Amino acid sequence: MNNSVPNFTHLRIADRGLLHKMLWKFQPVTSELTFTNLFIWREHYGTRWAQYKDWLLFICEPADSAPFALPPIGPSPRLEPALAILDWLAKEKKLPNPSIERVDKALADELQGQNQLSIAPAREHFDYVYLTQELIKLEGRRFHAKKNHVNKFTSTYKFIYEPLREEHAEQCLQMMNQWCTLKKCNEDMGLSGEWAAIKEALENFQALEIQGGVLRINGKVEAFSLGEMLNENTAVIHIEKANPDFEGIYAAMNQQFCEHAWNATSHINREQDMGIPGLRQAKMSYNPEHFEEKFRGTTLKL
């Protein structure tokens, strides 16, 4: 097999079998690296993929920033494919300082000693990882406020938790339309991208083989969440949305989804905060056990 990077192709739902198998074998620890995440955000980030020797390569070409690569997926060491994709970005995209984003700690350590490469932590992309049983039980002083929110919700509203099924999807979409009207998604590229990703997830729910949960109040879906196994021990929550008119509903949705869908896991990855202060505060309030650190690997000179 030659050493050149092959042509990249757009992600399709039909690619799930191959890509999920390779991603699962890799046992990722960072939230981006599931087929679901890559697929539902593919339009927003302009994601494409290629197979290079034993590795998967992903490039992203978002409309509002320069192209970048994601970490190569496959056996260690991953230095060869990482350098290959940086070289490809420099030559094919004419980038003076090509980068690999969302670099996991293991790959960052491999890249650290390379000349002409800068490896810097990307705090806004650190994943928040929690102990599953803590999110379910909400015991102790650290979770006192969250427990109160859940108790207030459960005592105020008559709700039903159900695993998300195909018949719930339309109500979830209707709720998201209302949420987007309230948040003015059409005026915010990030929110409109999120709405598109959620729509992809709901419309391809069965094909993606993800799990979901809903809270119904008076027969109507007022909150939903979607997730899947990231690796053998950790579930990743990709999406959580709720009607904010119901006080405590987000805390209740999180607690119920963890209890009913992920009780057998040891950890829950609730993804990153994107540097948004309110989101950072919300994620910190659940007392993460640790952060899954990510880094930015940038070529300084070619």
pLDDT 10s digit of each residue in the chain, 302 long? Answer: 346 788 999 999 999 999 999 999 999 999 999 999 999 999 999 999 999 999 999 999 999 899 999 999 999 999 999 999 999 999 999 999 999 999 999 999 999 989 889 999 999 999 999 999 999 999 999 999 999 999 999 999 999 999 999 899 999 999 998 888 888 888 888 888 999 999 999 999 999 999 999 999 999 999 999 999 999 999 999 999 999 999 999 999 999 999 999 999 999 999 999 999 999 999 999 999 999 999 999 998 65
For the chain, give every residue range classified as CATH 3.40.630.30.
9-126+294-299, 128-271
List residues bridging with 52 in a β-sheet.
55
Estimate the share of the chain in helix, then strand, then coil, as percent rounded to the nearest 5. 45, 25, 30
Domain boundaries 9-126+294-299, corresponding CATH code: 3.40.630.30
pTM over 0.75: yes
Do 173 and 199 touch, CB atoms closer than 8 A?
Answer: yes
Domain boundaries 128-271, corresponding CATH code: 3.40.630.30
Helix axes 189-203, 169-183, angle to 10 degrees: 180
d(CA 66, CA 61): 7
